[in-house]
């Protein structure tokens, strides 16, 4: 952890000091730096896929932790096993929070549509980008609004799924 903080501080100092370009030229020629950096870069190539799971996992854990202890104790007092308690008590009560994580992930994916278009990923993001370059604002607005409407529809669908489970969540 200390090494990571030192590296960040050193790179920040280079950026603030105005020698960022020269520093990067120097580091790009260093085999030792490449051998240290290569494993991190290889790992980061897999990250975009898993980054989307962070809100789901965090809100899943939060939802499970928020289940009242009295409800869990009642389930256990009635002979519920650990698996039964998880599947029939904790997850149904945590469902609104879990769906919030799913919702946040969906919105994050739609935010990436534009970025994907910037790097040639195609789709509506590229339509927004190309139309903004050629100053065809009407076409760009239509493509952008299509992305917004798709996000809104999926947002409402996840909220609708959450509303179906609300009576269970009312036990909180």
Q: Is 61 part of a structural domain of the chain?
A: yes
CA distance 70 to 72: 5
Q: Note whether residue 118 is domain-resident.
A: yes
What's the domain range around 137? 54-169
Q: Tell me the two tokens of residue 95.
A: 């469902």
Q: Give the whole-angstrom CA distance, residue 92 versus residue 99.
A: 11
Is residue 114 included in any domain, yes or no? yes
Res. 169: pLDDT tops 60: no
From 11-20, 74-83, 146-155, the region with the lowest mean pLDDT: 11-20
Looking at every residue in the chain, the average pLDDT score rounds to 80
Encode pLDDT of 112-146 as tens digits: 777 877 777 777 788 888 888 888 888 888 888 88
Structurally, the chain folds into a number of domains equal to 1
Q: What is the CATH number of the domain that holds 90?
A: 1.10.3720.10
Higher pLDDT: 95 or 49? It is: 95
Task: Give domain status of residue 27, yes or no.
Answer: no
């Amino acid at each position: 952890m200390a090494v990571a903080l030192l590296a960040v501080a050193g790179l920040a100092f280079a950026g603030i000091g105005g020698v960022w370009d020269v520093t990067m030229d120097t580091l790009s020629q260093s085999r030792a730096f490449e051998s240290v950096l290569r494993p991190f870069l290889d790992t980061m190539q897999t990250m975009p896929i898993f980054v989307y799971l962070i809100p789901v996992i965090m809100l899943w854990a939060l939802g499970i932790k928020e289940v009242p202890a009295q409800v869990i104790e009642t389930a256990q007092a009635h002979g519920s096993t650990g698996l039964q308690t998880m599947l029939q008590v904790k997850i149904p009560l945590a469902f609104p929070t879990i769906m919030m994580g799913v919702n946040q992930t969906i919105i994050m994916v739609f935010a990436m549509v534009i970025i994907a278009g910037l790097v040639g990923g195609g789709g509506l993001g590229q339509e927004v980008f190309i139309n903004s370059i050629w100053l065809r604002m009407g076409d760009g607005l239509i493509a952008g609004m299509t992305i917004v409407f798709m996000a809104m529809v999926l947002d409402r669908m996840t909220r609708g799924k959450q509303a179906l489970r609300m009576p269970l969540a009312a036990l909180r």
